Amino acid sequence: MMFPDYRPRRFRRTENLRRMIRETTLTVDRLVYPLFVSAGEGLRNPVASMPGVFQLSVDELLKEVDSAAALGIPAVLLFGLPETKDEIGSQASAAHGPVQTATRRIKEHHPELVVITDVCLCEYTSHGHCGILRGREVDNDATLEALSAVALSHARAGADVVAPSDMMDGRVGAIRGVLDDNGMENVGILAYSAKYCSAFYGPFREAADSAPQFGDRRTYQMDPANSDEALRETAMDIEEGADMVMVKPALPYLDIIRRVKEEFDWPVAAYNVSGEYAMVKAAASMGWLNEEPVMMEMLLSIRRAGADLIITYFAKDAARLLREA
């Protein structure tokens, strides 16, 4: 393997030679498109820190879903913006809430499209935390019942997969139990297993109106310094019944994606989060980065690290480029 016997450049000479030895491929099959659905009608509110992302009422959301489906994107991930919030996030499990209604309508129009729903309370609580409070602490075990009710309401509306993003201990098992007890054994669970307490969620909290009103999420989301703990979290979720596990964010945690993929023989999703999207958009708008190649390199890198699926706000743009290629 020494120069001049081995010359790696020989197989870089032409596009066909490069194509033949390419190790990682990105296809539209791997993309999940996240969407924010609100109550009301005719609503298409731009999210300032995420150009190209909107808060959509169900009628507008259906148009967005049509265009994603036409591009071959296999799945959407829904986040809800309720009309009212309260201390316990009671609207999260409302049978006719935005996510439940959107799920039913999408399934009428695109029965084959995979609908994944976010299961969390932070968009629905007045305090913006992901669970039920006891004093100023998030009460783990009291939250499990509420989350299970949210997951069940999504399953009843027709969700294919529910995705708990709250980071309470034991929520995957609790949700699996309630789904099974209600005849929803075919509804899958995509667990946000290694979800870090990240500053990269900033723009999302504007989009979902879900910033905590006091304190932060450090008592339930993972410490960015930890990597062994990500494996313990993932092992627990698989044990409790997760069909697929997730690492989030993606780019600053490529090492975690790789470790989780190597350690477990299990499907892994990675969430290319709002801050990762906003950085590229901002730099591109200044003319400092070329958006399309940067986007494609990022997504390819997340795949190369070991992610089977990528949840990304770039899904439609990437699908369009992949189609042209």
Which residues contribute to the site for ligand PBG (CB under 6 A)?
Answer: 118, 120, 122, 130, 165, 201, 204-205, 217, 273-274
Minimum distance, C-beta of residue 11 to ligand PBG, in the bound complex (Å): 38
Residue with tokens 């809430």: 97
Q: Which residues, at least 6 apart from 15, have a Cβ–Cβ distance to it below 8 Å?
A: none
Residue among 59 and 284 whose Cβ is closer to ligand PBG: 284
Residues facing 275 on adjacent strands: none
- Determine if residue 258 is labeled as part of a ligand binding site: no
When computed from its CA atoms, the radius of gyration of the chain, rounded to whole angstroms, is: 20
- Determine if residue 217 is labeled as part of a ligand binding site: yes
Residue among 122 and 315 whose Cβ is closer to ligand PBG: 122
| Burial annotation 49-70 (CB, 10 A radius, 16+ → b, else e) | bbeebbbbbbebbbebbeebbe
Tally DSSP H helices, then E strands, for the chain: 11, 12
Minimum distance, C-beta of residue 274 to ligand PBG, in the bound complex (Å): 3
- Determine if residue 274 is labeled as part of a ligand binding site: yes
- Determine if residue 277 is labeled as part of a ligand binding site: no
Residue among 102 and 130 whose Cβ is closer to ligand PBG: 130
Residues facing 200 on adjacent strands: none
The pair of structure tokens assigned to 284 is: 């591109």
261 catalytically annotated: no
- Determine if residue 130 is labeled as part of a ligand binding site: yes
Q: Per this entry, what is the length of the chain?
A: 325
- Determine if residue 253 is labeled as part of a ligand binding site: no
Minimum distance, C-beta of residue 164 to ligand PBG, in the bound complex (Å): 9
Minimum distance, C-beta of residue 120 to ligand PBG, in the bound complex (Å): 4
Minimum distance, C-beta of residue 219 to ligand PBG, in the bound complex (Å): 13
Return the residue nearest ligand PBG (CB atom).
Answer: 204
Minimum distance, C-beta of residue 242 to ligand PBG, in the bound complex (Å): 16
Indicate which residue of 85, 248, 281, 316 is catalytic: 248
Q: Which residues, at least 6 apart from 172, have a Cβ–Cβ distance to it below 8 Å?
A: 164, 189, 191, 236, 237, 240, 241, 242
Which helix or strand (DSSP H or E) is residue 173 part of?
helix 171-181
- Determine if residue 122 is labeled as part of a ligand binding site: yes
What's the DSSP call for residue 84?
A: -
Residue among 100 and 198 whose Cβ is closer to ligand PBG: 198
Indicate which residue of 63, 107, 195, 316 is catalytic: 195
Residue among 113 and 120 whose Cβ is closer to ligand PBG: 120
195 catalytically annotated: yes
Residues facing 86 on adjacent strands: 125
- The DSSP annotation for 85-100 comes to -BTT-GGGG-TTSHHH
CA angle 193, 196, 201 (to 5 degrees): 115
Residues facing 138 on adjacent strands: 133
Residue among 128 and 188 whose Cβ is closer to ligand PBG: 128
Chain centroid to CA 77? 7
Q: Which residues, at least 6 apart from 226, have a Cβ–Cβ distance to it below 8 Å?
A: none
Annotated binding site for Zn(2+): 120, 122, 130
Binding residues for Mg(2+): 233
The binding site for 5-aminolevulinate comprises 205, 217, 274, 313
Active site positions, annotated: 195, 248
